[in-house]
């Protein structure tokens, strides 16, 4: 089954990581992603820019309206995600645990609807 590992994000209080800390952190993420790929779990993943870069598109009547900024005014936002394939929920939870430990944040795991109903 295909699972979506959602990384809710929010601004982290305190000083940002130094360049060396960020490089070390990214190397650890790339090692985890290489592990996902080598086991066949990897489908796709990505990190998103801050919500301030968002554009909302909304169709109303015959018009399409665009608005700068995030859809919702909230401290939480989508920080990044992975799409993975595992044989069951336990496998997805194991990967989510590895990601959570690495980035020190919660991970929401969801299966794709079309695969649950077929």
DSSP state of 51: G
Neighbours of 38 (CB within 10 A): 9
- Give mean pLDDT in consecutive 10-residue pieces for the chain, a chain of 118 residues: 84 76 91 96 89 85 86 68 95 95 89 72
- Quick one: pLDDT at residue 74? 60
- Quick one: pLDDT at residue 76? 66
Cα–Cα dist 8/68, whole Å: 21
Q: Are 8 and 108 in contact (CB under 8 A)?
A: yes
- Quick one: pLDDT at residue 113? 85
- Quick one: pLDDT at residue 41? 96
């Amino acid at each position: 089954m295909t699972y979506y590992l959602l990384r809710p994000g929010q601004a982290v209080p305190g000083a940002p990581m130094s360049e060396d800390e960020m490089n070390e952190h990214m190397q650890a993420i790339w090692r985890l992603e290489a592990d996902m790929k080598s086991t066949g779990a990897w489908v796709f993943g990505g990190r998103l820019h801050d919500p301030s870069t968002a554009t909302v598109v909304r169709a109303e009547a015959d018009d399409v309206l665009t608005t700068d900024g995030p859809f919702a005014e909230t401290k939480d936002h989508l920080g990044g995600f992975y799409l993975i394939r595992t044989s069951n929920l336990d496998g997805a939870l194991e990967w989510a645990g590895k990601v959570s430990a690495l980035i020190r944040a919660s991970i929401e795991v969801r299966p794709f609807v079309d695969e649950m109903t077929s």
